[in-house]
Amino acid sequence: GLEKKEGKLIAVYDLGGGTFDVSILEIGDGVFEVKSTNGDTFLGGEDFDQTLVNYLADEFKKENSVDLRGDKLALQRLKEAAEKAKIELSSAAQTEVNLPFITADQSGPKHLTLKLTRATLEGLVEDLIQKTIAPCKAALKDAELKASDIDEVVLVGGQTRMPKIRETVKEFFNKEPNMSVNPDEVVAMGAAIQAGVLQGDVKDVLLLDVTPLSLGIETLGGVFTRLIDKNTTIPTKKSQVFSTAEDNQSAVTIRVFQGEREMANDNKLLGQFNLEGIAPAPRGIPQIDVAFDIDANGIVAVSATDKATEKEQKITIEASGGLSDEEIENMIKEAESNAEDDKKKRELVEAKNQAEALIHTAEKGIQDAGEKITEDEKKPVEEAITALKDVMDGDDLTAIQEKNATLSQAAMKIGEKLYQQEQSDAQDNDSNSSKEDSNEDVVDADYEEVKDDKEASN
């Protein structure tokens, strides 16, 4: 019934048996647009059960010096009792765990009888509940929203019946969670509606999904250049123009990656293809248009077109590149934990790419200038080129950046000199042509005056 709430922002807090997911949706005119998603694939109701199992086993061990975790049959009974107690404590303040003949030793059979309060359970799982808050913050950040912007919070999954979880969600979003849907049935209802949409039976509801990870290609130096960012609403199409890295390059390899790392090889390679038959030209001149097109089913079509020859190659990749939710979550976590190192690697590669481009431009500039500049004017540029070549193969980012700046300044001075010369030559040409024009005018005037004098004397 949420589709009736026009122009609303909805947070779906889904804590199931094995995973936790949070999605931010915008609803309008029967369209559900997913703004962002996040979660933890290693957090779910089973973790709450296991925490309680460990507590019960530790309490039994204190009294009887027997660890029930070493007995498979006893452990299975303990797990069933822990889940039952957890469910009962969602509606009752206290329950009793009673497992007669749970094990036996030389002195005879042992029984487990223990009173358990809701407060005890909440204290045991407090850290697990708090682990759900970080993904909520990340999802809001990705959607460029604040918790106060959310109009409704929907709880999904049986574990959300726990009062402490509802209280935590209420504190974070500062509003009461929506209790109108059954957390156990809502996923099945949603799946049924989406099946109806795909089959064509349901026509007044549309779900717009998002890309779980960024998509892009490998560019010079192994850098991952994003064309479609994570959490972009699909269907979508994005394109960008690239060029060649070498003079007279006749082919390029387009390598398509998915992930959040700054270097291409740290992400998942989805596929690659070659675009051949590029017309010979200096580096940077050919224009190659790379386009990513994702349809509503998440299928990605990547194409590369040489604008000069109009030759095209393309590749089609299945939805999500065959990644499971767990793999997607792991890739996001890896990107977050390696963000600083990845940033340094990318900066180093980009500085080296800039160095190559500067050297190429400066050497070509000196060659083109020829005798228009003196040896003394060439010397600072040549020295700067040599100094940059000495450091650009190393890993000292600061040194490369400094030498880049030095060469850039030196090359700029030659550029200014050549520009001034061109301006001066242009002005000389203008003044010469104006003199010729004025001389012609004088001759005409003299001629007329002489003619008039003759006429007068006659």
Claim to verify: residue 5 and residue 154 sit in the same structural domain: yes
Roughly how many angstroms between the first and final C-alpha of the chain, as a whole number? 112
How far apart are alpha carbons 87 and 91 in whole angstroms?
8
The answer to whether residues 178 and 205 belong to one domain is: yes
Write the CA distances from 213 to 101, 161, 235, 339, integer angstroms: 52, 31, 14, 15
**In terms of domains, do 202 and 235 share one?**
no
Q: Going by DSSP bridges, is the β-strand pair 300-306/312-317 parallel, antiparallel, or unpaired?
A: antiparallel
Whether residues 339 and 239 fall in one domain: no
In angstroms, the CA 245 to CA 288 distance is 12
Q: In the Cβ-directed half-sphere of 71, how many Cα atoms lie within 13 Å?
A: 14
How much is the CA Rg of the chain, to the nearest whole Å?
Answer: 36
Please name the helix (run of DSSP H) or strand (run of DSSP E) that holds residue 173, with its range, or none: helix 163-173
Q: Which of 261, 296, 317 is the last residue of a domain?
A: 317
174 and 101, same structural domain? yes
Same domain assignment for residues 170 and 63: yes
Residues ≥6 apart with Cβ < 8 Å to 88 = 95
Residue among 332, 304, 318 at smallest CA distance from 231: 332
Is residue 445 very low, low, confident or very high in pLDDT (cuts 50, 70, 90)? very low
User: Is 436 part of a structural domain of the chain?
Assistant: no
Within a domain: 445? no
Q: Which has more pLDDT, 189 or 250? A: 250
Cα distances (Å, whole numbers) of residue 113 to 54, 78, 386, 438 = 15, 11, 82, 118
- Are residues 158 and 31 part of one domain? yes
Same domain, 188 and 90: yes
Of 275, 267, 277, which is closest to residue 291 (Cα–Cα)?
Answer: 275
Residue 100 structure tokens: 């007669």
pLDDT at 432: 56
Q: Are 160 and 13 in contact (CB under 8 A)?
A: yes
Identity at 182, one-letter amino acid code: N
Question: Do 116 and 256 sit in the same domain of this protein?
Answer: no
- Tokens 């790392």, located at residue: 261
Q: How many domains does one find in the chain?
A: 3
CA dist., res. 394 & res. 211, Å (int):
37
For residues 64 and 75, give the distance between their C-alpha atoms in angstroms, rounded to a whole number. 16
Longest dimension (CA), the chain: 158
Tell me the per-residue pLDDT of 180-234, one tens digit each, with 9 for 90 and over.
777 777 766 666 766 776 666 766 666 667 788 889 999 888 889 999 988 888 8
Residue 162 lies in a domain: yes
pLDDT score of 29: 67
Top pLDDT among 52 and 32 is at 52
The two tokens of residue 369 are 């200038």
Residue with tokens 């850098």: 223
Same domain, 125 and 179: yes
Write down which residue in 261, 290, 317 finishes a domain. 317
Range in 97-111, 112-126, 188-202, 409-423 with the lowest mean pLDDT: 188-202
CATH of the domain at 331: 1.20.1270.10
Two tokens, residue 399? 């040194």
What residues have CB less than 8 Å from 441, skipping those under 6 apart?
Answer: none
Residue 448 within a domain: no
Residues 6+ apart with CB under 8 A from 32: 3, 25, 26, 205, 206, 207, 208
Amino acid at 172: F
Are residue 58 and residue 177 in the same domain, yes or no? yes
Which position has the higher pLDDT, 242 or 426? 242
Query: What average pLDDT does this structure show over 248-252?
Result: 85
Task: Determine the Cα–Cα distance for residues 20 and 48; give it in Å rounded to an integer.
Answer: 12
Contact criterion met (CB below 8 Å) for 396 and 445? no
Instruction: Say what the pLDDT of residue 454 is.
Output: 44
Give residue 455's pLDDT: 45
**Using an 8 Å Cβ cutoff, are 255 and 264 in contact?**
yes
Cα 217 to the center of its chain, rounded Å: 13
Using CA atoms, how far apart are residues 284 and 242, in angstroms rounded to an integer? 8
CATH number at residue 241: 2.60.34.10
* Residue 183, φ and ψ in degrees, nearest 5: -60, -20
On whether both 337 and 386 belong to a single domain, the answer is yes
Give the confidence band of 246 by pLDDT, cuts at 50, 70, 90: confident
pLDDT tens, position by position, 56-77: 999 988 988 888 888 889 889 9
Q: What count of residues does the chain have?
A: 458
Condensed to tens digits (0 to 9), the pLDDT of residues 334-390 reads 888 888 888 888 888 888 888 888 888 888 877 877 777 777 777 888 888 888 888
The angle formed by the CA atoms of residues 250, 246 and 261, to the nearest 5 degrees, is 105
Task: Look at residue 151 and tell me if it is in a domain.
Answer: yes
pLDDT in tens, 388-435: 888 888 888 888 888 888 888 887 877 777 777 767 666 666 555 555
In 184-324, where does DSSP find H-type helix? 186-199
Q: Does position 258 have pLDDT exceeding 80, yes or no?
A: yes
Q: Which of residues 291, 317, 343 is at a domain's end? A: 317
Domain of 277, in residue numbers: 213-317
Q: How much is the average pLDDT of 5-27?
A: 84
Instruction: Give the domain CATH number at 56.
Output: 3.90.640.10
Please determine, for residue 450, whether its predicted confidence score (pLDDT) is greater than 50: no
Residue 434 lies in a domain: no
| Closest C-alpha among 362, 402, 398, 397 to residue 378 | 362
Q: How far is CA 135 from each of CA 88, 213, 214, 308, rounded to the nearest angstrom?
A: 28, 15, 18, 47
